[in-house]
Amino acid sequence: MSIWWSLHLRREAASVPLARRLLLGTMETAGVDPDISYDLSVALSEACANAVEHGGDDHSGTPSAEYRVTAYLDGEKCRIEVADSGPGFPPSRRGYRAAPRPASTSAESGRGLCLIEQLADHVHFRNRPGHGAVVSFDKILKWREGALLKVS
């Protein structure tokens, strides 16, 4: 059995805990190990916060009022994708990166993407054709005893 869901959320701060709670509830119900669930929920919160903060006007100058979160739990892996309609990533952030560059300890921003890279097994940053950024990440799952989706 597998589970997937997709949300279209308003670009406002209140949407971040909503997405996080839905992910945590889904993973708890499915029987995912709580430590793995927590790591993925923190990574999702960071990706959503970035979409809220940076997913502003598209290239036409039209303000974007929403972003999209999609999660797939299938067998041994969870994959999450957060897509917005903002200006996208600068060239230095596109594609896979081998190792995160930590932000300065005095910086007020710039730690979220590095944190996602630390919490997930695979991370990909890309721009959508025409407009928007997409952060996708996945993690191999561990299961509690008697889990609904556990791979035999």
Q: What is the pLDDT along the chain (152 residues), one digit of tens a residue?
A: 689 999 999 999 999 999 999 999 999 999 999 999 999 999 999 999 999 988 876 555 555 689 999 999 988 999 999 999 888 887 765 554 434 455 555 555 568 889 999 999 999 999 887 678 999 999 999 999 888 777 65
The answer to whether the predicted template modeling score (pTM) of the entire model surpasses 0.75 is: yes
Contact 32, 143 (CB under 8 A): yes
∠ CA 3-114-22, nearest 5°, is: 25
Please report, for residues 3, 18, 56, 116, 136, the alpha-carbon distance to residue 79 in angstroms, rounded to integers and kept in the order given: 11, 18, 24, 13, 7
Tell me how far apart the alpha carbons of residues 1 and 125 are, in angstroms, rounded to a whole number: 28
Residue identified by tokens 């996602």 is 116
Enter the DSSP assignment of 143: B
Q: What residues form DSSP beta bridges with 46?
A: none
